[in-house]
Amino acid sequence: MGISIFKQSRGLKQEIDIKEAFNLWNMLRARYHSTDTIRLLKDMTHDRDFTMLLTNLVNEWDKHIQQYEDAAKALQLKVPKRPPYDYRTSAKINQVTDDFIFKRIYNDIVAQMYPLITAYRTSTTNDMLRKIIRNDLEKHLENFEMVYKYGKLKGWMDEPPAYKTSKSKLTEALTTGEAFHILDHIAQRYHQLQLTQFFLSFAHDKEFRLILSQGIKRLETEAKTLQELCLKYEILLPSRPPVSTPVTIEPESAEDSFMYEVILSGMQSAIDLHVRAVIECIRNDGLRSVFYDLFATELKMHESTLKYGKAKGWIITIPIYSEPV
């Protein structure tokens, strides 16, 4: 029997807030639908390797479903109905091609990414539940990478418009969407860098000032990486923020808690930005790796920053979920 991370401590019941209750229910619903789709379609595939890939994928999702189900049971949460255990058919319909099945499942994987991100960043009360969702999110991106590369190898990925420059040929081709994501990322990094420098001038708490200083160093490093990508692919660079943002007064209304909320919200927006870039980088594998590394770093920084805010009491309190008596 596995060890539950939701065991009661000193007779106290584990608690989740109302948003986390929805997140847990919603992720189970989404996972049930996706695994049901794969189980229905995988017996219609023609390529043996593709069938094995789908089998491994549904087995991986079953593990996350089990974690969600265990959490829901421990937290006494209402859950959606489960789909059929499996499907069996020997029919091979020629019109239902592997190409069609791949694109249907690929789009489903992409669609699930966004409720996963929302569930992660809005689960702030129960750290153990957020950990389950975070692990699911990280693994889901790995699954996306596996499915994407297989589809690319098979020639099932659609080809977007190319980003064209005066160079006759680049070492690595770039799509118009990928070029935009580089520009979008560097613009956001410049904005966050200037805002963080501005807040550092007002912050009072020593630990918070240290977090802001570390954030500035990270943003500067990432901005430099993105600048080099812009030059490599001949993408017009936006203006950089000022080297510093001096402030001559210290208004009492500039509270650390308010500045913290803005910084945390910026991190959450950056997670969304990174994931969208990973999903839409479907030609340049090296560039996708850069965006994936940005995502992994942002996720780690968000987690530590969130826990710091909880310790300081700066996180918005959400009503605790409870079943009607």
CA distance 86 to 63: 16
Superfamily of domain 18-154: Ferritin, core subunit, four-helix bundle (1.20.1260.10)
Amino acid type, 186:
I
If one compares 131 and 165, the residue with the highest pLDDT of the two is: 131
> Which pLDDT tens digit goes with each residue over 94-103?
678 999 999 9
Ramachandran region of residue 121, left (φ > 0), alpha (ψ -120 to 50) or beta? alpha
Cβ atoms of 140 and 112 closer than 8 Å:
yes
pLDDT of residue 40: 86
Q: What percent of the chain has pLDDT over 70?
A: 87
> Which pLDDT tens digit goes with each residue over 168-227?
555 568 999 999 999 999 999 999 999 999 899 888 899 999 999 999 999 999 999 999
Domain boundaries, the chain: 18-154, 176-312
Protein fold of 176-312 = Ferritin (1.20.1260)
> Which pLDDT tens digit goes with each residue over 105-118?
999 999 999 999 99
Evaluate if residue 7 carries a pLDDT over 60: no
> Which pLDDT tens digit goes with each residue over 225-248?
999 999 999 899 988 888 776 666
Place of tokens 């060890």: 3
pLDDT of residue 323: 61
Evaluate if residue 10 carries a pLDDT over 80: no
